[in-house]
Amino acid sequence: MMVPVVFTWTEAEIIDGDGVATRRKVMLPLARYAKVADRQFHDSEEYPLVVLETRSRSSHSHFFAALKDGFDNLPENLSVIRERLGIKTVPRDGWLNPEHLRKWCLCETGSCEPLEVDFDDQKDAMRLARFYRARDEYCQIMIRGSHVTIRVAKSQSAAAMAKQPFEDSKKAVLELIESMTGLRKGALMKNAGRAA
C-alpha cells in the first residue's frame, strides 16, 4: 500500500546525465518523508500527482463527540433497534463502546470492505473467521455452514480517507445512529457541535 507523501513545489538545481546543471521547479518531498519516498518511487518513473484536501481537526473531533452522544443515547432494549430499522445484524449483546458502534455503522452504511468465501467444510470457514477477528475485533462475521461473510469497516484515518469521503461516511453514520436512538435528524450533528 502506498503511503501519502507530502511534497513542496520548489526550485532546485537538476544535473543531467552530462553533468550540466539547470534550475527547475520540482516537487520535493519533505525531509521526514524522504525514506518513504525512496521506498515507494523509482528513478525516471512517472507518477500522477493528486492534491488531497485535508480535513479539519474540528470535523474529526466533532464526529467523535457526536458518536459518543449517540452511543450514550442508545436504547437498552436492542429489539427496539431491530424492529425500528429491520436490521438483523445488531450485535447480540449490543455495542461494547463507541468504537464498536462506529465500525458497525460504517459496515451497515456500506463504508466497508466485504468478503464472501465458500469453503468445503465449516472448519476452514471458522479458521478464516478467527483470522479476521484477530485482525479486527469489531469486524462483522457471519457464518452459514461453510459460507463466510466478513465486513471490515474502512479506516477513517486522515491518511486512509480524504476529506469528502470522511464527511460522507460521518454523515451516514450519524444519521443511522439518530434513527437507532429515535433522535430527530440532525440532532447529533448540532449537539456535538457545541461539545467539540
One pLDDT digit (tens) per residue for the chain, 196 residues? 677 888 999 999 999 889 899 999 999 999 998 999 999 999 889 988 877 667 788 888 999 999 999 999 888 877 777 777 777 677 877 899 999 999 999 999 999 999 999 999 999 999 999 999 999 999 999 999 999 999 999 999 887 888 889 999 999 999 999 988 888 888 888 876 554 4
Is this prediction's pTM over 0.85? no
- Rounded Cα–Cα distance for residues 78 and 91 (Å): 9
98-108 and 57-72 helices cross at what angle (nearest 10)?
100
Give the Cα separation of 176 and 192 in Å (integer): 15
Q: Which of 196, 177, 174, 182 is nearest to 95 (CA)?
A: 177
Report CA Rg, the chain: 23
Strand segments, DSSP code E, in 103-181 are 112-118, 140-144, 147-153
> How high is the pLDDT of residue 195?
47
Distance of alpha carbon 95 from its chain centroid, rounded? 18
Confirm if 97 and 143 have CB atoms less than 8 A apart. Answer: no
